[in-house]
Amino acid sequence: MTSDVIDILSAELAAAFTRTTLADILHKLAQKGFLTEHVCSRKTKCCATSSGSGRFEFVHDKIQEAAYEFMSRQEQRLNHMRFGLALYPQAVDKSNDELLFMAINQINFAGPESIVDGDQKHIIAGLNLNAGKRAGKRSDYQTAFSLFQHGMSYLEADCWTNHYGTSIELFDSAAQAAVVVNDLEAVTLYANTVNSRAKCFDDKLNCISVKLRALIHGERYGEAMGYSWR
């Protein structure tokens, strides 16, 4: 946890903590032997603040595991969600892809079970969609595919009625990524879903093309011919 992350968390969770409070907690844990602090110089570009704080790490993996397992599963989910939502706006503002993926991974560790409100789930689905697009631009298609799948997990049963645009885009993007990672089963599932749910032919077009590419790539020419004439 770097000191710039402390600043971000402090800004987002100001009602509960101040930066001094967070820093003091970390220093006290370091003094008790649970954490070790690495003070970074300017040359290392560690983003140290004026307080001189650097990077804190647990002295042993077992201590980290024990601290994590001490929390209930619901507490773990809520903490992952809070940290992810705190980091995400800063990652976008700074155009920092690494921080963006760190944020969205924290959110997805929490999972849809940590959110009750349908509109909030839709927002998280959109965050995954945007992060997946960023991963695709970096040619990291496996990550993109995973993020699109996570995004779909936040969609509710009425998504095709209440959030049609996001639903179409997530399934369409997932089908396209699935072609690149050579997952024909996923291509078929997502393309068929779009074809059955799309409101117009234009919304089906990408997935029709994607499924044809997948069938041809898998040398399933007979299926491709039959599919093209539907």
Average pLDDT over residues 161-167: 95
List Cα–Cα distances, 23 to 15, 68, 209, in angstroms: 16, 19, 53
User: What confidence tens digit (pLDDT) does each residue in 97-147 have?
Assistant: 998 999 999 999 999 998 888 888 999 999 999 999 999 999 999 999 999
Phi-psi region of 33 (alpha: psi -120 to 50; beta: other; left: phi over 0): left
If one compares 7 and 72, the residue with the highest pLDDT of the two is 72
CB 168 within 8 A of CB 203: yes
**For residues 14 and 167, which has the higher predicted lDDT (pLDDT)?**
167
Name the pLDDT band for 174 (thresholds 50, 70, 90): very high
Nearest to 178 by CA among 156, 202, 207: 207
> Per-residue b/e over 83-101, b at no fewer than 16 CB within 10 Å?
bbbbbbebbbeeeeeebbb
Q: Is the pLDDT of residue 176 over 60?
A: yes
Residues in the chain: 230
pLDDT, mean of residues 201-229: 69
The pTM (predicted TM-score) of the whole model is: 0.70
pLDDT of amino acid 225: 57
Q: What is the sign of the dihedral through the CA atoms of 206, 208, 214 and 219? A: negative
Residue 18 backbone phi and psi in degrees, to 5: -115, 165
pLDDT score at 39:
56
Nearest to 3 by CA among 40, 28, 44: 40
Answer yes or no: is pLDDT of 8 > 50: no
Tokens read off for 193? 């879903």
Q: What percent of the chain is predicted at pLDDT more than 70?
A: 63
Coil/strand/helix, residue 153: helix
> What average pLDDT is seen over the chain?
77
